[in-house]
A and B are shown apart, each in its own frame.
Chain A
Amino acid sequence: MQDEKNSELDEVFAAYREATPAPEPSPDFLAQVWRRIEERRPAQWLDLIRVWSPRLAAASALTAGLLTYSTWITERAARVEAVANQTYVEALTADSLDEHDEALWTIAGNRRR
């Protein structure tokens, strides 16, 4: 019974295949395809952004890195220069201030870690 129904359906499918030959394309089929391609093509400035945005991002990252490095170098040089310009008394005062802080922490019962 099921086989009979299946073969009947197969006959319908085969007849449908016969009844639906591929239509002939119109003479301007290809031209129409190109017209639609052009309609959907994104604007040229979008293409430029797409091409240039990764490069701009890389250049920005590089610039940020260079600025950070140069700031660090400048600060370090300034610190070294400051130490070099200190007098003996100034260096001794700065050192004793550190020891004073340590003593205060000990009295309060909190060791500085």
Chain B
Amino acid sequence: MLVDPETIQKAQEGDDDAYNDIVRLYRRRILGTVYRLIGRTEDVEDVAQDVFVRLYYSLKQLREPAVFEPWLYKLTTNAAYDYLRKRRRAASHVRMADMSEEQMVVADAAESGRRASDERKQTEVRELLDALFVEVKDEDRVLLTLKEIEGLTLKELAEIYDVNENALKVRLFRARQRVLKAHEKLKKRGAV
């Protein structure tokens, strides 16, 4: 854990400095997780800030400082769900526009050669996974992102989702099957 239990307890008791410490320690990790969950750079800060606001108002409900991180991931997941629900339809179109803008910026840069090529590869991967995730439910997207990309363990996921590990394995298997199916579909269309 990045933060010690005393700091969490102090923040629960209303110590603003302790709360600031928590934000400073976790903001980068949360920004990364939010970015991978929602896939849109321009809204990452907004959603991440929303996570910390939710944390501020719900911190007193946390009984055990030991489960702080799964708790924070749960808040992150909920904020991402809310965002994805609102923006599900518009997301892919806007993202494509953003990427082409990013590519233009990179192309204008002095060291354009190798860097642009790397950027292009990264953009392709992001677009591929976003295209796969558009084909499945938000629940599958979030679960697979947490497990396969964030690298959370089954135990941590069980804490976040409040289900036992076996039920989680079934959910993961089904989510993965749906993504595989979407992958096959994209391949047939020649999009991959």
What residues of chain A have their CB less than 8 Å away from a CB belonging to chain B? 5-6, 8-10, 12-13, 15-26, 29-30, 32-33, 36-37, 40
The residue in B28, B33, B53, B122 that gathers the most chain A C-beta atoms within 10 A of its C-beta is B53
B21-62 vs A, CB cutoff 8 Å, 1 = contact: the mask equals: 001100111011101100001001100111011001100000
Query: Is B45 within 8 A of A6, CB to CB?
Result: no
**Cα distance A6–B176 when bound, in Å?**
9
Q: Is B66 an interface residue, CB under 8 A from the partner?
A: no
Give the B interface residue count (CB, 8 A): 38
Q: Which residues of A contact B53 (CB under 8 A)?
A: 33, 36-37, 40
Q: Is B96 an interface residue, CB under 8 A from the partner?
A: no
**Pairs A-B, 8 closest by C-beta atoms:** A22-B32, A19-B122, A13-B148, A15-B125, A19-B125, A16-B129, A33-B52, A36-B53
Name 9 interchain pairs, CB-CB below 8 A, sorted by A.
A9-B179, A16-B128, A16-B129, A24-B31, A25-B45, A25-B48, A32-B45, A36-B53, A40-B53
**Cα distance A75–B91 when bound, in Å?**
76
Query: Is A18 within 8 A of B44, CB to CB?
Result: no
Query: Is A23 within 8 A of B50, CB to CB?
Result: no
What residues of chain B have their CB less than 8 Å away from a CB belonging to chain A? 20, 23-24, 27-29, 31-33, 35-36, 41, 44-45, 48-50, 52-53, 56-57, 121-123, 125-126, 128-129, 132, 144, 148-149, 151, 176, 179-180, 183-184
Query: Is B180 within 8 A of A20, CB to CB?
Result: no
